[in-house]
C-alpha cells in the first residue's frame, strides 16, 4: 500500500484542483427527532463546543469533504429530564461520551449563494461504539455576513448502531426505532 500516497501526489499534480476550508462556528447545532407510541420528541445539542475545520478538495470530478465533528452526548437536551436521561443512557454516554460525524464526500462542489442549493454527500456516523456510513441530503447557502450554512438530515435507526430504543412503564411506552438526525453547521471560509 506504499504506492497510495504517491498515486495521490501524482493525481494532485495532474488535475486542476478546487479547494476550500471552512471553520465550524460554536452556534452550530444538532437535533434528533423521534416518536414513541404516544407522542413525539425532539432532543438537541444547541451549540457546538469545539473549533473544527472542514476541507473540500475537488480532483477531477471527485469531491472529498474531510473533517469531523465530535458532539458530547451529555449535551443532549430533550426538554424533559426523564427523556434526556433515557436518551443518554441508551447512547451509552458513560462508555462513549461523544458521537462523531466524519465527513467523506460531496456530490458536487457547492456554489455559495443566498439561494439554498441541494446536494448529497457521504458521512460516517459513530455512535455508542458502532459506526455506519450514510448518504446525507444537504442544503448549502451563504448569508449577508458570509456565513456558510450547511444543513444536513438523515433518518437512522437505533438498531443501525445495535441499540435498543428506550422503554418505560414496563414496556407500555415504547420509543420507535427510527430517528431523524438533523444538523445545522454555521461556518466561515478561511
Given a cut of 70, whether residue 23 has pLDDT beyond it is yes
The pTM for the full model equals: 0.83
Given a cut of 90, whether residue 3 has pLDDT beyond it is no
Count of CB atoms within 10 A of residue 10's CB? Answer: 11
Distance CA 137, CA 155 (A): 10
pLDDT for the residue numbered 2: 52
pLDDT for the residue numbered 147: 94
- What is the rounded average pLDDT for all residues in the chain? 87
pLDDT for the residue numbered 111: 83
| Strands 17-24 and 178-189, bridge-based pairing | antiparallel
pLDDT for the residue numbered 26: 86
Contact present, 122 and 136 (Cβ < 8 Å): yes
pLDDT for the residue numbered 153: 92
What grid cell was written down for 115?
439561494
Q: Which residue has the higher pLDDT, 171 or 174?
A: 174
pLDDT for the residue numbered 51: 84
What band does 7 get if pLDDT is binned at 50, 70 and 90?
Answer: low
Domains and CATH numbers, the chain: 17-189 (2.40.128.110)
User: What are the pLDDT digits (tens) for 105-149?
Assistant: 999 888 888 999 999 999 999 999 999 999 999 999 999 999 999
User: What are the pLDDT digits (tens) for 47-95?
Assistant: 888 888 999 888 777 888 899 999 999 999 999 898 899 999 999 999 9
How far does Cα 132 stand from its chain's mean position? 12
What grid cell was written down for 114?
443566498
Amino acid at each position: 500500500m506504499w504506492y497510495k500516497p504517491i498515486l495521490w501526489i501524482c493525481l494532485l499534480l495532474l488535475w486542476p484542483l478546487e479547494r476550500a476550508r471552512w471553520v465550524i462556528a460554536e452556534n452550530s447545532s444538532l437535533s434528533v427527532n423521534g416518536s414513541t407510541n404516544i407522542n413525539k420528541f425532539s432532543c438537541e445539542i444547541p451549540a457546538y463546543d469545539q473549533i473544527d475545520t472542514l476541507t473540500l478538495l475537488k480532483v477531477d470530478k471527485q469531491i472529498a469533504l474531510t473533517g469531523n465533528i465530535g458532539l458530547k452526548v451529555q449535551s443532549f437536551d430533550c426538554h424533559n429530564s426523564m427523556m434526556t436521561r433515557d436518551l443518554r443512557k441508551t447512547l451509552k454516554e458513560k462508555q462513549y461520551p461523544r458521537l462523531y460525524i466524519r465527513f467523506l464526500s460531496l456530490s458536487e462542489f457547492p456554489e455559495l449563494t443566498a439561494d439554498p442549493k441541494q446536494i448529497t454527500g457521504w458521512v460516517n456516523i459513530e455512535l455508542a461504539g458502532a459506526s455506519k456510513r450514510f448518504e446525507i441530503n444537504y442544503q448549502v447557502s451563504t448569508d449577508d455576513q458570509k456565513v456558510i450554512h450547511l444543513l444536513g438530515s438523515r433518518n437512522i435507526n437505533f438498531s443501525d448502531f445495535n441499540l435498543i430504543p428506550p422503554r418505560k412503564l414496563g414496556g407500555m411506552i415504547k420509543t420507535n426505532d427510527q430517528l431523524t438526525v438533523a444538523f445545522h453547521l454555521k461556518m466561515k471560509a478561511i
